[in-house]
Every structure is written in structure tokens, then in C-alpha cells.
């Protein structure tokens, strides 16, 4: 089945429907490269780098190089017999057979690929060009050169395979977090089975330290999990009975039981694997241009080679067919577009691999290009530049009240609430004092909590709660940046607690790096303006706007785009879906646990660190730089040697350099990005 994607007028990928989003089988997901449908409608066995399928990447490096080693050894022995070792037997059919045997290990696979390409409708492939050129060299008696051209071409293909394998390994190591086996309970007996064979409804027994293999529902009363594989959040996440737990989560405490609710191939992690697999199918404009160019360029080159052989017959007095055929063959070898069609997709693949290695997932090479040109980064506040976890910042109480006693009473009352504020207070104060008796506890919606303690009324909430109960206070709440929790006891204002979401450790570094890249930072948030502006001032963010509704964010982004410059929006990818769709590149922070995030965002940052935003931009810039270096190198060298070849000034050896040598240099340049430190 062909995997389809929807695009808007700008070519930006839109969300797939649930029906369209086909989940690959585990085996196919692990492969990461495989069959895809080309524009001509034929189902080619291609790797996503744009080249052909180079065989199993499970082969060792020695096995990959073995055909080339055999061919090289036979070629060097033959050249020695031809030039340096006097003998009489290495002539005639013996010499021809020797060179044919030297040619076979590297030549036959390419000839086979040429026939396969022709059978599938792709006549003018690089395989056909190399086959014609090398077989032609044999026809005119240039045996060493025929073997050498194919040998160097084969070596180039092996280097390409190794480069792709390295990039794939980076991605697979990062993403395939699922265990191969799970322990299920059958008739209260533990039984270990392959994870992919587990069925919906099976009960998984998960010991402390074990990783969950499938998505499911927690049957145990409570269990704590490390969810870093999915959300990037290293803090334990406590789940209660009936809550959803996901494949990749690690059980931290007691033995837990989980009921499987989703098939192995439909888990969140499988969808992330699919995301990366589809990434190489979303081509950058440069890559698409090169492919279209090669389809036009190659037939023209073949026609020119034929003309180089025939036309001189009518104009050159001492015309020798073999000489002009040799020139045409040299021309064919030089003109082979493999340096472009291999190195450019490999450059983008390397960029995707390097990003994955650093915990950044790109949905396609087109987004590597898009993010490289970003001029404005627009970001949400909570969960992007701040931790998204509330903490007590300050406790201010009147002198006539005992601070410890008031805090213990507040902690006891807040234990009746599940609000994040209550959690922050509990973490600050500590264990609940069970000796405190609460009577007539009441939650007043949108305001706070009320209870009687020791026969006296205790109020904990916002200042609207104070106003409702006519509690007099001597401060202006609007002058305080943080969220305020007001406290009143026995009809008197006792003081307040300030609570805030703390700024992430690398938030300052993020803004500094963005400015070094000449990228402007703008913060848009639904939080109150005083808090948003305070965070922006602390970090040096260029512009900040608070108290915004989703439609307000859309309008702000439109204003930024209207002033010029592309925009990347950074948020959770769910609540901000309209802004993500409007932006040139949508970036989700730590959103791997959400289906909606995976579908709406173009780039997903796995570990929740904002410093990965400038890193993603830098990876995009470096990838684009390397791609254009390869284009300039390939066209420059080929243009020079093509002219020399047509004029008879370049031999097969120069042709080998212009084709395979340039391809090797371009491949080595492309893999540099996987070794870069960002």
C-alpha cells in the first residue's frame, strides 16, 4: 500500500487521518529503509537515500568490500603481467578471460540492476550508463580501464551503504525503545512471550526496572513510571488504576499489572518509528529538483555520446571508429549523475540521522531546508521555556501568625485538592500533619478552599476569595508577578504564598544561541501578561505577549510573517495546532506521548530541552550547506572533464575521478554532518 500524505498550497504536510496513517509492521519499522512508490508509479526497490538497495546492512564491512577486494587483486595481477612481469602466456583469450573474471564480482550486480531498472521503466539509469561504458571499453580492448571504472564505482556504492547504515543506526538506537519480550499472566502463571505476539486483553506483569512493551491500562492501584523515552520528562510519573500507560515506560516501584489495549504495531513508539521512516520520503526542494534534472539530463548525455561517436565521421578525414567510441565512453562515465543522486539525498539523510542522534526528529528533509531559513522563532511559555511544574517561590505571612502552624493547616486543606498549586504547596511544606482536623471542608469553584480548623475559619485561594468573604488586605495583587495564594484565618488576612513555574536551566542558553544565529525570539502565551513579560525580560526574549487566546496567537504570527521572514512555532503541538499549521516549521517540545503532536508538528524535540531549538536550526543550516557544496563540486568537476573528454584530452582514468572520485568526495562530505558536534 502506498503511504499518502496531504499537503497545503505551500507544500506543507498536513495531518493524516487515522485511516490514512498506516502503521508499519515491526519488521518493516526496524528496517527503516525499503520499498516506496516513485513518481512513475513503479514500485522500485530503493533505499530512501535515492540510490538502489545495496543489500542487507547486516553484512559486515569486510563482506561488503569482498567483491571489490577480489576484483582489485585480479586487476593488479593482470596489470603486473601486462607491464612488469615478463611472460608469454598472458595473451589472447587467456588475458580476456582474466579481465572478465576480474570484472564479474563488481560488474554483474550493476548489470543486473540495469536490467531491473529497464524492466521497471527506468531506462536511463546510472547502472545502464556504467554498464555501457565498461562493456564498451572491453569491446575496444581497454580491459584494465573497463574493470577499473566498475571497481571504483562499486567501492563508491559500498561507502554509500556504510554511510546510510550509520545514519540508520543513530535513528534505531534512539527510537526503538520497546523490549523484545513481555511477561503475561495466564491462569495466574507467568509466561514470557515475544512482545509482537501479545494480544489485546492480555495481562502483562511488569517488575520494577522493566520496560513496558505495549500500550495498556494499569490494573494495579498505583505505579510510578519513568516516561523519559516518550516525553523527555525524567521525573517519575505516578499512575493510578485505570490510567493509560505506554510502551517504553519503565516501572520504578512495585510489581504492576497492565492490560494490553493496543496492538504492538499501533503503539506510540511504533508511530514514532513510522514518523522517522516517512521522513526520508518527504523530499527537500533541492532533492526533488536533482531527481527531475537527472531524468532529463541522462538521456541527453546518452544521445550526445552517440553523436560524439558518429558525427566526426562526416567531418574528420582520419576518422577512426574505436578512438571516437572511446571518447564517447569516457564522456558517458564522466556524465554519470551518481555523485548528485547519491550524495544529495545522503546529505539530507545524514542530517535527519544527526538530528535523531541529538533527540530531534524531523518529519522530512523538506523541513531541514525550511528550518535552515528560519528568521523568527515564536514560542509558548509553559512547558517550552519553563518546566510546566509549579513551585513555591515565597511565603509572606503577618507577624502575628505562627508561620509553621499556618503552613501546616494550609497543607492539610490543600490535600483535599488535585490542583497543581496544591501539589506545589505539599512539596514545599512536606508531610501532612494528621493531627489537624478539618471540618466543613468546601471547594469554592474558581476561588479556592474553605474549612474550619480548631473552630476557626481557614480560607486558602485567590484574592477573589478574600473579597467574597470580606477579608481586608493591604496589598495590590496586580503588582506581584507570580501566581498568588491568599490565606485568611479567623476572619483576618494572614498573608500569601507566591507560586511560579520555574524557568528551564537551558532557556537562557537557548535565547543566546538563537541571537547568534540572527533569529528573533517571540513568546506568545495564554498566561497572564505580567508573568510572560517577566520571563521574557529574564531571558532576553525580543518580544512577549500574554493573555492570548488561540486565535490571538494566530494573528500575532500572521503579523510577524507579514513583516518579513519565515516563522518556526514551538509549543505542545496540540492546543496550538492552528499556529503550527500557519508556521513554516512547527516544533513540538517533548511531545512523543501525544498522537496529535506527532501528526501536527514538523519537528519533534524528544528530551524537552529548548536548547535543541537552535541546534535543530543549526543542523538544518549545516545540512543545506553540505548539499550545496556537493552540487557545486559535482557540476564543477564534471563540466571541466566533460569538455576535456569530448576533445580527446581525458582518458578513462580522468573519467573515473570525475565520476566515482567526485561521488566518493561528495559522500565523505555528506557523512561529515553525522560526526559534527552541535
pLDDT digits (tens, 9 = 90+) for 281-331: 566 676 666 667 767 877 888 888 889 889 999 988 888 888 888 888 888
Together in a domain, 237 and 281 = no
Last residue of a domain, one of 471, 503, 535: 503
pLDDT tens digit sequence for 151-208: 888 887 787 777 667 656 655 555 555 677 889 998 888 899 988 889 999 999 998 8
Check residue 31 and give its pLDDT: 32
Together in a domain, 311 and 348 = yes
Local confidence band at 358 (pLDDT 50, 70, 90 cut-offs): confident
Residue 18 placed within a domain: no
| 424 has a pLDDT exceeding 70 | yes
Together in a domain, 439 and 542 = no
Tell me which of 237, 369, 380, 584 is the catalytic residue.
380
Residue 3 placed within a domain: no
Together in a domain, 284 and 155 = yes
Residue 564 placed within a domain: yes
Last residue of a domain, one of 596, 621, 646: 621
Local confidence band at 15 (pLDDT 50, 70, 90 cut-offs): very low
* Alpha-helix runs per DSSP H in 33-142: 61-83, 92-119, 126-139
| 593 has a pLDDT exceeding 50 | no
Together in a domain, 473 and 597 = no
47 vs 558, residue with greater confidence: 558
237 is catalytic: no
Q: Which CATH number fits the domain that encloses residue 209?
A: 2.70.150.10
| 49 has a pLDDT exceeding 50 | no
Report how far residue 132's alpha carbon sits from residue 359's, in angstroms, rounded to the nearest whole number. 45
| 472 has a pLDDT exceeding 50 | yes
Using alpha carbons, list the distances in angstroms from residue 495 to 428, 584, 661: 16, 47, 76
Together in a domain, 133 and 195 = no
Together in a domain, 363 and 346 = no
Mean pLDDT of 241-256: 86
Element (H, E) at 578: helix 577-582
Residue 4 placed within a domain: no
Together in a domain, 369 and 403 = no
Check residue 117 and give its pLDDT: 85
Element (H, E) at 499: strand 492-503
First to last CA, the chain: 38
Last residue of a domain, one of 242, 266, 290: 266
Phi and psi dihedrals of 16, rounded to 5? -80, 150
Per the prediction, the chain carries an average pLDDT of: 79
The whole domain housing 395 covers 388-503
Check residue 45 and give its pLDDT: 37
Together in a domain, 48 and 160 = yes
* Structural domains of the chain, count: 4
| 339 has a pLDDT exceeding 50 | yes
Local confidence band at 30 (pLDDT 50, 70, 90 cut-offs): very low
Residue 445 placed within a domain: yes
Give the cell for residue 393.
517561590
Together in a domain, 242 and 225 = yes
Check residue 451 and give its pLDDT: 95
Task: Residue 362: count other Cβ atoms within 10 Å of its Cβ.
Answer: 30
Together in a domain, 324 and 461 = no
Check residue 302 and give its pLDDT: 82
Amino acid at each position: 500500500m502506498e503511504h499518502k500524505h496531504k499537503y497545503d498550497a505551500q507544500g506543507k504536510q498536513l495531518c493524516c487521518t487515522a485511516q490514512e496513517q498506516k502503521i508499519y509492521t515491526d519488521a518493516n519499522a526496524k528496517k527503516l529503509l525499503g520499498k516506496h512508490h516513485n513518481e512513475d508509479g513503479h514500485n522500485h526497490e530503493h533505499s530512501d537515500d535515492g540510490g538502489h538497495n545495496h543489500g542487507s546492512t547486516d553484512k559486515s564491512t569486510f563482506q561488503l568490500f569482498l567483491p571489490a577486494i577480489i576484483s582489485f587483486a585480479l586487476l593488479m595481477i593482470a596489470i603486473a603481467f601486462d607491464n612488469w612481469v615478463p611472460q608469454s602466456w598472458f595473451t589472447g583469450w587467456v588475458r580476456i578471460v582474466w579481465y572478465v573474471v576480474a570484472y564479474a564480482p563488481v560488474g554483474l550486480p550493476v548489470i543486473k540492476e540495469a536490467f531491473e531498472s529497464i524492466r521497471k521503466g527506468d531506462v536511463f539509469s546510472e547502472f545502464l550508463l556504467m554498464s555501457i561504458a565498461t562493456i564498451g571499453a572491453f569491446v575496444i580492448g581497454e580491459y584494465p580501464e573497463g574493470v577499473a571504472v566498475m571497481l571504483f564505482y562499486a567501492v563508491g556504492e559500498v561507502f554509500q551503504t556504510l554511510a546510510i547504515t550509520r545514519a540508520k543506526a543513530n535513528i534505531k538506537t534512539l527510537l526503538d525503545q520497546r523490549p523484545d519480550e513481555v511477561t503475561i499472566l495466564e491462569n495466574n502463571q507467568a509466561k514470557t512471550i515475544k512482545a509482537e505476539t501479545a494480544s489485546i486483553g492480555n495481562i502483562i506483569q511488569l517488575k520494577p526496572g522493566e520496560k513496558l512493551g505495549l500500550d495498556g491500562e494499569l490494573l494495579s492501584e498505583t505505579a510510578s513510571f519513568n516516561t523519559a523515552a516518550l516525553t523527555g520528562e525524567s521525573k517519575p510519573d505516578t499512575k493510578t488504576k485505570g490510567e493509560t500507560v505506554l510502551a517504553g515506560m519503565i516501572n520504578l516501584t512495585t510489581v504492576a499489572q497492565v492490560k494490553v489495549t493496543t496492538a504492538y504495531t499501533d503503539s506510540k513508539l511504533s508511530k514514532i518509528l513510522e514518523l522517522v521512516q516517512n521522513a526520508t520520503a518527504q523530499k527537500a526542494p533541492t532533492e526533488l529538483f536533482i531527481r527531475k534534472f537527472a531524468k532529463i539530463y541522462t538521456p541527453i548525455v546518452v544521445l550526445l555520446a552517440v553523436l560524439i561517436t558518429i558525427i566526426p565521421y562526416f567531418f574528420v578525414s582520419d576518422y577512426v571508429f574505436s578512438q571516437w567510441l572511446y571518447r564517447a565512453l569516457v564522456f558517458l562515465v564522466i556524465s554519470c549523475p551518481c555523485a548528485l543522486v547519491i550524495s544529495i539525498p545522503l546529505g539530507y539523510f545524514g542530517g535527519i540521522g544527526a538530528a535523531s542522534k541529538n533527540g530531534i526528529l524531523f518529519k522530512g528533509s523538506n523541513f531541514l531546508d525550511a528550518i535552515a531559513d528560519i528568521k523568527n522563532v515564536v514560542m509558548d511559555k509553559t512547558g517550552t521555556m519553563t518546566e510546566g511544574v509549579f513551585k513555591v517561590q515565597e511565603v509572606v505571612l503577618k507577624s502575628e501568625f505562627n508561620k509553621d502552624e499556618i503552613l501546616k493547616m494550609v497543607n492539610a486543606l490543600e490535600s483535599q485538592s488535585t490542583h497543581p498549586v496544591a501539589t506545589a504547596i505539599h512539596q514545599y511544606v512536606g508531610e501532612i500533619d494528621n493531627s489537624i482536623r478539618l471540618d466543613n471542608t468546601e471547594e469554592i469553584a474558581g476561588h479556592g478552599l474553605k474549612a474550619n480548623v480548631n473552630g476557626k475559619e481557614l480560607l486558602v485561594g485567590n484574592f477573589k476569595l478574600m473579597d467574597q468573604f470580606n477579608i481586608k488586605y493591604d496589598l495590590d495583587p496586580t503588582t506581584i508577578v507570580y501566581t498568588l495564594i491568599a490565606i485568611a484565618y479567623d476572619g483576618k488576612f494572614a498573608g500569601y504564598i507566591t507560586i511560579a513555574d520555574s524557568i528551564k536551566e537551558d532557556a537562557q542558553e537557548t535565547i543566546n544561541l538563537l541571537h547568534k544565529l540572527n533569529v528573533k525570539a517571540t513568546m506568545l502565551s495564554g498566561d497572564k501578561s505580567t508573568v510572560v513579560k517577566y520571563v521574557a525580560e529574564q531571558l532576553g526574549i525580543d518580544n512577549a505577549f500574554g493573555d492570548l487566546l488561540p486565535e490571538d496567537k494566530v494573528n500575532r504570527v500572521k503579523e510577524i510573517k507579514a513583516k518579513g521572514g519565515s516563522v518556526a512555532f514551538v509549543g505542545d503541538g496540540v492546543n496550538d495546532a492552528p499556529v503550527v499549521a500557519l508556521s513554516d516549521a512547527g516544533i513540538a517540545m517533548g511531545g512523543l506521548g501525544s498522537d496529535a503532536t506527532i501528526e501536527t508538528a514538523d519537528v519533534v524535540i524528544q528530551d524537552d530541552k529548548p536548547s535543541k531549538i537552535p541546534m535543530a536550526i543549526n543542523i538544518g543550516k549545516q545540512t543545506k550547506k553540505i548539499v550545496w557544496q556537493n552540487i557545486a563540486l559535482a557540476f564543477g568537476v564534471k563540466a571541466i572533464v566533460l569538455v576535456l573528454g569530448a576533445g580527446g584530452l581525458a582518458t578513462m582514468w580522468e573519467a573515473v575521478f570525475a565520476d566515482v572520485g567526485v561521488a566518493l568526495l561528495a559522500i565523505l562530505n555528506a557523512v561529515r554532518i553525522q560526526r559534527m558536534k552541535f
